[in-house]
Structure 1
């Protein structure tokens, strides 16, 4: 074997199938962890703004933990630690239903929720307090003003960091390799072991990650433009 030959990878049905399966699992992890992260972020945001005295310190502690402990360590804690402490029946069920992918979604989703919640909080804080006063002067209740006036502006302001962190989440899905999830990086490594075409397969993996990351950024830019009436009108 010598020379540069992409067809040795792309033209092999077995290798191509492994890469396609890796892409599929990568998006399962990305979409699943994104949905989990956004759901938790909204709950954390509600808890932070609630009148409960322990709400803000509790959320602050959650955010501090997930922002200061490496994501890789969190994934390992879930899979090699918490997984082993689960009841035997539950652990057996998870082992038979792609436990690695499930724990990758849980670990990444819990971690990313901390970043999403801070993005949403910053977006809300950037809305002028006068907006609430004006809405209430027009007859809106607090809940109605938050729903129809404050939240739309806050989410629109939070879109750029949310998109950036979504791209980071997609790239961090590669960390699931360490717990054995059969995502794209895992597939690239397996193909490399079988083909010995190190440069070619890592080049393909790099191009795939670049392509999908740029695609996510383009979708985010489109959503940001549509959410901004002024930019949408100019477009």
Structure 2
């Protein structure tokens, strides 16, 4: 299961919303590869829905940076680049510390919300979770912080940024790095739960900075790097052959 399947449930009330969620899920999981060009009709057949909801979904996704519109050729999943990754982390660093402080100021939180934050911390510290589970838990943890602010604009601004970041977190080399170097979320969880806004903002800033370094280093040190464009989960033989042709 990818991290987006549960978290995108808020868009499931309409056919267009469900179509947006499913296309975005396939992009995050690389089932829709970034080099693939497709038409509305082909994607509608693949999803088992009509062309109208697919067309509406692709308009939304093109405006929010998930797909590119190709004149007379259809659509293509937007390529992942180091520049985009740095931009996503810059947005997170600008917004998430403030969101963490805002969430802390609303303490005490419902018991189930606090328990969910702590459960992810326990998962990290046990050392037995799969790398995939850690990456999935990372998204859900940060999304819950945004929701705990009680500010719909925080959540709306961060939801798409966090989901687009997951495309990079789910690259095989980044998943391995997450397993080797899990990010410590407990100081942030404790600060949010106890209502310490300053500590929550500081812990969030530190986490995002560590995440950015770990993610970018893992990509640069791997076979994924192609100038500034990345290909999800390539086979090593493909990487070598493409590099030779370049």
Question: Which has the larger Rg?
Answer: 1
Q: In proportion to residue count, which structure has more strand?
A: 2
| Structure with larger RCO (C-alpha < 8 A, sep 6+) | 1
| TM-score over 0.5 (shorter chain) | no
Q: Which has the higher helix share?
A: 1
User: Structure 1 length as normaliser, TM-score?
Assistant: 0.32
